[in-house]
A = this chain, B = another copy of it.
Amino acid sequence: MTQQRYRALAEWPLMATALVFLAAYAWQVIGRIEGTGADWLEGAMWVTWCVFVLDYAANLWLAENRRQWFVRNLHELVIVALPFFRPLRLLRLVTLLSVLHRTVGETLRGRVVTYVAASAALLVFVGALAVLDVEQWAPDAKITTFGDALWWATATITTVGYGDMYPVTPIGRLVATALMMSGIAVLGVVTASIASWLVQRVEDTAETVAEAVEEPVRAEVAELVSEIALLRREIAELRERRPL
């Protein structure tokens, strides 16, 4: 089985696994689950982790050039190898994003707006979860409910930053930095999409212009061809008429 075929097969199961992970994480963080419930959710998260490790191993095994794949996908190794550091686990959801990317890219090409909106929504949701996870037990925390966390994440990704809420722990601030950078990327992609649409229009016009400019040359060349055909016929007549 080639890597490409494996990836096609593994796409939807991986997406489902990522969603299970996200649900378990969200439940634990938002519900402030402790005790037996927390153990069950923790177990579910470890199962999803195993699936991601297996996926990584399968990809590495099936890669045409294993060394090259390993070097180019170091970030996947980091995500897989660091399950003990809670908020980093959410980086696994990059999988969700890339699956979304592939799906949108293949079936709805051009619907960049849908993709950007979905990505931004996922980023806000995951960012809010991650910040709530690390902030809600901090002593001077401003962000203590999921509603607050969502509100803060929205104001951060749009670079509005009211400042009524902000993370106070180092990890919360790292999550905030990721959200800020995502916001700049989202803005860039929105602008690029509009630009792309404009550029498409220009391209169409350029083609029309090129054809319009070519037209007279083509007409004259066609005239030349018929002129020369006439010439040949006249010479042929000349030959036939002449006395041998």
Chain A residues within 8 Å of B, Cβ to Cβ: 147, 151, 154-156, 158-164, 166, 170, 173, 176-177, 180-181, 183-192, 194-196, 198-199, 202-203, 205-207, 209-211, 213-214, 216-218, 220-225, 227-232, 234-239, 241-242, 244
Contacts and interface: CB of A to CB of B under 8 A. Distances in A.
Nearest to A242: B242
Copies of this chain held together in the complex: 4
Nearest to A235: B234
B158 A158 contact: no
A210 to B, nearest CB: 5
Given A147-B173, A191-B195, A211-B213, 17 more contacts: A155-B176, A158-B180, A158-B181, A158-B184, A159-B159, A161-B162, A163-B164, A187-B187, A187-B191, A191-B194, A195-B198, A202-B202, A223-B225, A224-B224, A224-B228, A230-B232, A239-B241
Nearest to A201: B199
